[in-house]
Amino acid sequence: MAQSSYRPSVHPVAIISRQFCAPYPVDLTIASKLLTINKGDFTATDVNGNVMFRIKGRFFTLHGRHILLDAARNPMLTFQHKILTAHKRWQVFRGDTTAEKDLLFSVKKSSLIQFKTQLDVFLAGNTNEDVCDFKIKGSWGDRSCTIYLGNTLTIIAQMHKNNIIGRDRFAVTVYPNVDYAFIVALVVVLEEIHDDRHRHIGPALAP
């Protein structure tokens, strides 16, 4: 459940679209379908059980590609694992494409060896990557992670986990004025970065 008080962002945090920025906290459940041929299928539902987004998983692809669909099953985002990287970098593109011009943001581990989850998120325009645009910190084992605006203490979303048979469920609270489609995308990338113990895609070379 959402907390009772928040510190809303002064300006909307709209990465996918401002239409996904609500003036109130948004509670979502992201459920991973564990028993599917396409490893990495997810659904994101609201508090009433309505499907807000669907994420179609990879099907034996080198880049582990995913597609995020809206409720009407229109493609919104494409996720792609960037091979030959040392920090488990994922790239997220607008629409059903991986063209460089459509890159929205990328996510990578803050360091190679981690005892706690710490990821850096860089928007496409942040080519120098001196400072991250968003930071994810927490314990992936407990599925207790917090998403911050840059390197500040400003929280924009929080997540935790609960389980039922056949599914892995992530409860996510998105703070007011924050793009909840963007937060769903980050949670999916979180899952993929940490769910690599059953697959090994190429050698790690580049940053």
CA dihedral 27, 159, 104, 126 (to 10 degrees): 130
Question: Is residue 194 classed as helix, strand or coil in its secondary structure?
Answer: helix
Q: What share of the chain is helix, strand, coil (3-state, %, to 5)?
A: 10, 40, 50
What is the chain's pLDDT, residue by residue, as a tens digit (207 residues)? 444 455 655 578 999 999 999 999 999 998 876 544 445 578 899 999 999 999 887 654 445 688 999 999 999 999 988 765 555 789 999 999 999 999 999 999 877 666 677 899 999 999 999 999 999 998 766 678 899 998 888 999 998 766 554 456 778 999 999 999 999 999 888 888 776 543 444 433 344
Q: Has this prediction a pTM greater than 0.85?
A: no
Are 96 and 67 in contact by the 8 Å Cβ rule? The answer is yes
Are 77 and 95 in contact by the 8 Å Cβ rule? The answer is yes
With CA atoms as reference, report the closest residue to 196 among 99, 58, 69: 58
